[in-house]
């Protein structure tokens, strides 16, 4: 990857497993420092949670979100140590918080403070009764939007525009039941995601107001390299605007398909994914139609 512009991509949540990140921890002192910082801010032992924790804990955002941020940042640390350089960064959903550290917008401790406050704001600001969540749907955005329109009882909206072949919906219990019947009639697969809130939907606007207030004291510097923001699919470097976009991300859709197309149009030829697996590499190749050799999923070995 020594020719053409390279973007660093950070994955989101929902892929956690016991033992994750141990190779990073064992290999590198800076990675161990990331685990320590996460532990100090979150108030629990991040290494213990990742290596020896109980799988059911990963279903709670207070554990699952900081875990993913830890792994993303460890992978980025090793990428830099291997001599990789990036001309822009982008993070899918939660992965956007890793971009803030990679682009030097916030400090490492503040990134975990942001995620901690995100969870607390979701818990205190989201007052809806009943069951809510998210699910991946293996179809086009246009098809999914038309299916959402057919739901008569309950709430279902497109929350993430993942790729040309997949989107993510946010829903309540009744909405999911109706949507699942519509999807089954069309042989379209619906895959639940382990989250407890309808992130990136307008139902989270009250939580976003709480979040904005809670993080007002955390300073956002201008970005050292451009960040492709989830809510616009376009680059931003101004610290104040980045902060506003991060807050808005809580209740606005993730425009990942637009992000990928804009990166490609801007001349990016190579994409390095930092996270737990190569989901974003798959999205890139199927959406842009590029050679898989133009993507790299960072591994420790």
CA angle 268, 224, 267 (to 5 degrees): 10
CB 193 within 8 A of CB 14: yes
Cα gap 219→243, rounded to integer Å: 9
CB 212 within 8 A of CB 247: yes
- Indicate the pairing of strand 295-297 with strand 268-274: parallel
Residue 167 CB neighbours (<10 A) = 27
Host H or E run for residue 228: strand 227-228
- Tokens at 22, concatenated: 């141990």
Residue 248 CB neighbours (<10 A) = 17
Active-site annotation, residues? 93, 200
CA 292 → CA 138, 269, 279, 296, distances in Å? 21, 11, 12, 8
């Amino acid at each position: 990857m020594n020719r053409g512009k390279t973007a660093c991509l950070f994955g989101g949540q929902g892929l956690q497993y016991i033992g994750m990140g141990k190779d990073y921890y064992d290999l590198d002192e800076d990675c161990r420092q990331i685990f320590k910082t996460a532990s100090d801010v979150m108030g629990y032992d991040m290494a213990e949670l990742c290596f020896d924790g109980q799988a059911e804990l990963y279903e709670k955002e207070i554990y699952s979100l900081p875990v993913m941020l830890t792994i993303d940042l460890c992978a980025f640390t090793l990428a830099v140590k291997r001599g990789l350089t990036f001309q822009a960064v982008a993070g899918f959903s939660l992965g956007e918080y890793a971009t803030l550290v990679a682009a030097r917008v916030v400090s490492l401790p503040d990134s975990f403070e942001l995620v901690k406050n995100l969870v607390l704001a979701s818990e205190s600001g989201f007052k809806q009764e009943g069951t809510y969540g998210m699910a991946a749907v293996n179809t086009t955005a246009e098809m999914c939007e038309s299916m959402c329109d057919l739901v008569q009882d309950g709430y279902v909206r497109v929350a993430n525009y993942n790729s040309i072949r997949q989107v993510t919906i946010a829903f309540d219990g009744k909405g999911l039941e109706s949507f699942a019947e519509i999807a089954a009639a069309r042989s379209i697969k619906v895959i639940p995601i382990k989250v407890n809130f309808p992130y990136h939907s307008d139902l989270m606007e009250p939580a976003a107001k709480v979040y904005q207030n809670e993080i007002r004291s955390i300073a956002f510097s201008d970005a050292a390299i451009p960040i492709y923001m989830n809510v616009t699919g376009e680059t931003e470097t101004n610290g104040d605007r980045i902060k506003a976009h991060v807050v808005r991300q809580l209740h606005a859709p993730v425009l990942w398909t637009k992000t990928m197309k804009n990166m490609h149009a801007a001349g990016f030829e190579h994409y390095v994914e930092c996270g737990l697996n190569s989901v974003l590499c798959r999205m890139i190749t199927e959406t842009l139609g590029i050679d898989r050799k133009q993507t790299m999923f960072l591994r420790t070995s």
